[in-house]
């Protein structure tokens, strides 16, 4: 790795660490209902929403009522997006006159954005009008992220409260998270992005003259159509809310979404900003900031080496280039590394850091093509998703997923010393272990079973009229990796794609939609069940046999638990894809 690569990584991690503590403390005040500094400016809006919706902010909910509210709100959101997408052709703010989407694509997209996955089987600029982008997708970018924060807040209350029957009010958590956290941050970021050249308008697409003619499908052309639209407003929340769905098909590799090195840095920082800060929020809310730092440390212990691994894999390049005269023959590595599928203006370092950050978080935005990475360079982002999106993960969902691993880690520690395990003074018993196991196993089940179903036959070809076409643009191990990556992305609510896979057809739209729905909501319900169970328990003071959960030993146990589960679950599948492809690449 070059010195520049190390500098880029250090700047990114330094900025992340510097912002995590103040933002985390601020979010704790918001979730605890304390004054946060924006009450005078936005308080009228908060109370207006409560009155309009008929919500009593003082009335708290048990976990079942809380879960019902979450599901009812999100199912309503899915239905609303579906209708907007299907009726797009008759709606305003559609200057290109784009028609409504097909039923299967509308289902897939509705579930994708409501579940904070933002998987896109379509090209944004050729499929969706401005109203669909704003009313359908951008709104869900806000409320899906706020849902994750709300569920996390409920779980933390379950850990903190003693002999309680309630875990908060979902509607209050939803409104306060949106109004005081996501909206202000998104506004600041959107303004910063516009100042750097990210577009924000309602203009029709522009036709411009080319400097010199080019051939398109064998015919010379002298013009190019430039897509317009309200990009910055969606881009800001797409990154901050770990949503990731791009306004344009090539996402943050597009110059209208990511025009300068500064926008690249700000967007990259926004991906991990709230997930990292929520670890500090957790520490503040449980009354011991060391607990939050321990969880954040566990995330970084996994994230940093894997990020360096992607950078090294891409910098090493492809050995075969040496024999083609396109390389330093003596070293048998590409002089500049593997630049295929990457923007020259970002280079390998910024592309690799983004690939790791977007798959460690449940973000899925891209500024380079993961399908063009080396086999090991592509394996690491895929495995980061397969770990369960708990290395930072989605806004709220990443941390409550990591806390499920923490529960398992202390359970294992309890077995080692022969006593009932405890976490933050709450005994971890059979019910909590069953629910935590569901949270960990459900995504893995949908990833592996979905991949198996797809490669057996249904996911290998599709029919257009009477013509049969292949879903895979690449054969062998790489084609298998494309399918595995798609299911890993959907089954863990990430949303990025390896590409090379034709996913906009009924089989994949339905399969991936089901996986996204299950990975989001089948995990929220057992998480809330754990919150309710813990809230009812009394506090157990620590004793000599209690594992301190703020010390390096616990960090090691937590990291080991996450890696062990990921390794045992997915290494066999990875061996059939990127590992085989790597062996093929280095073979003489």
Q: Predicted confidence band at 259 (pLDDT cuts at 50, 70, 90)?
A: very high
**What is the model's pLDDT at position 322?**
64
Provide the pLDDT for residue 152.
Answer: 97
Burial-class residue 491 by CB neighbours within 10 Å (0-12, 13-18, 19+): buried
Least confident of 240-249, 315-324, 408-417: 315-324
User: Does 324 score more than 70 pLDDT?
Assistant: no
pLDDT at 500: 84
Is 362 within 8 Å of 352 (Cβ atoms)?
no
**Cα–Cα distance, 254 to 136 (Å, whole number):** 22
Angle (CA) 279-363-38 rounded to 5° is 55
Rounded Cα distance between 295 and 403, Å, is 8
- d(CA 302, CA 428) in angstroms, rounded, equals 25
Residue 42's pLDDT is what?
94
pLDDT in tens, 486-522: 999 999 999 999 888 889 999 999 999 999 999 999 9
State the average pLDDT over residues 451-462.
Answer: 88
**CA-CA-CA-CA torsion for 275, 276, 281, 283, nearest 10 degrees?**
130
CA 195 to chain centre: 26
pLDDT in tens, 120-178: 999 999 999 999 999 999 999 999 999 999 999 999 999 999 999 999 999 999 999 99
pLDDT at 464 over 60: yes
| Model pLDDT, residue 117 | 95
Q: What is the rounded distance in angstroms from the CA atom of residue 341 to the CA atom of residue 518?
A: 32
Between CA 183 and CA 138 the distance in angstroms is 12
CA 38 to chain centre: 28
Residue 214, token pair as written in the block = 């080019």
Which residue do the tokens 């978080």 mark?
361
Give residue 280's pLDDT.
Answer: 97
pLDDT exceeds 90 at position 542 = no
* Residue indicated by tokens 């018993």: 429
Q: Do residues 423 and 409 touch, judged by C-beta distance below 8 A?
A: no
Please, what is the Cα angle at 138 between 120 and 118, to 5 degrees? 25
Q: How far apart are CA 7 and CA 310, in angstroms?
A: 16
Q: What is the pLDDT of residue 329?
A: 42
Q: Region 378-400: what's the mean pLDDT?
A: 95
d(C-alpha 498, C-alpha 339), whole Å: 16
67 pLDDT band, cuts 50/70/90, is very high
Give dist(CA 412, CA 397) in Å, integer: 23
pTM for this model (two decimals): 0.95
Per-residue confidence (pLDDT) for residue 333, from 0 to 100: 44
Would you state the pLDDT for residue 523? 95
Q: Under a CB-based contact definition with an 8 Å cutoff, are residues 348 and 454 in contact? A: no
Mean pLDDT, rounded, for 34-55: 94
pLDDT at 330 over 50: no
- How far apart (Å, rounded) are the C-alpha atoms in residues 112 and 116? 6
Average pLDDT, stretch 16-41?
A: 95
Residue 216: predicted pLDDT? 79
Which two three-digit tokens encode residue 338? 């593997």
Residues 576-584, mean pLDDT to the nearest whole number: 93
Distinct helix (H) and strand (E) counts, the chain = 20, 6
Q: How many CB atoms sit inside 10 A of residue 188's CB?
A: 13
CA distance linking residue 93 with residue 89, whole number of Å: 10
| Cβ–Cβ < 8 Å for 27, 19 | no
For tokens 């790597």, name the residue: 582
- 245/134 Cα distance (integer angstroms): 12
CB 387 within 8 A of CB 267: no
Q: What is the pLDDT of residues 267-307, one digit of tens each?
A: 999 999 999 999 999 999 999 999 999 999 999 999 999 99
Provide the 3-class DSSP secondary structure of residue 291.
Answer: helix
Q: CA-CA distance, 405 to 377, in Å (whole number)? A: 26
**Whole-number pLDDT of residue 384:** 95
* Distance from C-alpha of 465 to C-alpha of 484, rounded to nearest angstrom: 28
**DSSP result, 482-527:** HHHHHHHHHHTT------SB---SHHHHHHHHHHHHHHHHHHHHHH
**pLDDT band of 214, cuts 50, 70, 90:** confident
């Amino acid at each position: 790795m070059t010195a520049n690569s190390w500098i880029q990584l250090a700047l990114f991690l330094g900025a992340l660490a510097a912002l995590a503590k103040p933002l985390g403390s601020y979010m704790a005040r918001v979730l605890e209902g304390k004054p946060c500094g924006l009450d005078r400016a936005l308080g009228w809006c908060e109370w207006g929403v409560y009155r309009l919706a008929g919500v009593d902010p003082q009335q708290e909910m048990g976990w079942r009522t809380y879960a019902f509210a979450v599901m009812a709100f999100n199912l309503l959101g899915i239905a609303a997006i579906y209708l907007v997408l299907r009726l797009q052709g008759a709606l305003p703010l559609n200057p290109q006159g784009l028609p409504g989407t097909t039923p299967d694509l509308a289902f897939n997209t509705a579930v994708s954005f409501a579940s904070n996955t933002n998987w896109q089987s379509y090209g944004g600029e050729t499929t969706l009008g401005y109203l669909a982008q704003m009313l359908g997708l951008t709104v869900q970018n806000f409320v899906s992220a706020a849902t994750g924060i709300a569920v996390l807040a409920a779980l933390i209350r379950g850990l903190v409260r003693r002999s309680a029957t309630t875990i908060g009010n979902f509607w209050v958590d939803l409104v306060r998270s949106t109004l005081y956290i996501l909206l202000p941050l998104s506004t600041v970021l959107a303004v910063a992005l516009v100042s750097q050249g990210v577009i924000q308008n309602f203009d029709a697409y522009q036709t411009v003259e080319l400097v010199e003619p080019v051939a398109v499908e064998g015919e010379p052309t002298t013009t190019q159509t430039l897509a317009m639209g309200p990009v910055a407003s969606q881009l800001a929340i797409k990154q901050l809310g770990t949503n990731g769905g791009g306004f344009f098909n090539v996402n943050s590799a597009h110059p209208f979404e990511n025009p300068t090195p500064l926008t690249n840095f700000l967007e990259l920082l926004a991906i991990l900003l709230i997930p990292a800060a929520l670890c500090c929020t957790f520490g503040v809310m449980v009354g011991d900031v060391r607990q939050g730092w321990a969880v954040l440390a566990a995330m970084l212990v996994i994230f940093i080496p894997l990020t360096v691994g992607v950078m090294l894999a891409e910098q090493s390049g492809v050995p075969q280039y040496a024999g083609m005269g396109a390389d330093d023959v003596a070293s048998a590595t590409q002089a500049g590394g593997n630049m295929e599928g990457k923007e020259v203006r970002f280079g390998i370092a910024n592309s690799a850091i983004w690939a790791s950050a977007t798959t460690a978080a449940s973000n899925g935005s891209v500024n380079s093509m993961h399908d063009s990475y080396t086999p090991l360079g592509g394996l690491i982002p895929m495995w980061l998703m397969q770990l369960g999106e708990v290395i930072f993960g989605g806004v709220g969902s990443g941390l409550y997923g990591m806390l499920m691993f923490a529960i398992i880690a202390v359970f294992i520690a309890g077995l080692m010393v022969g006593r009932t395990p405890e976490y933050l003074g709450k005994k971890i018993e059979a019910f909590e272990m069953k629910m935590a196991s569901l949270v960990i196993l459900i995504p893995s089940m949908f990833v592996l079973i979905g991949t198996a179903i797809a490669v057996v036959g249904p996911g290998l070809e599709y029919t257009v009229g009477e013509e049969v076409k292949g879903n895979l643009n690449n054969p062998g191990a790489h084609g298998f990796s494309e399918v595995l990556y798609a299911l890993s992305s959907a089954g863990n609510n990430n949303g990025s794609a390896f590409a090379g896979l034709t996913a906009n057809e009924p089989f994949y739209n339905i399969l991936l939609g089901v996986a996204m729905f299950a990975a989001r909501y089948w995990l929220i319900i057992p998480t809330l069940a754990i919150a309710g169970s813990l809230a009812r328990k009394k506090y157990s003071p620590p004793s000599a046999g209690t594992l301190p959960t703020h010390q390096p030993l616990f960090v090691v146990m937590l990291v080991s638990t996450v890696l062990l589960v990921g390794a045992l679950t997915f290494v066999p599948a990875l061996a059939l894809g990127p590992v085989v492809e790597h062996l093929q690449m280095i073979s003489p």
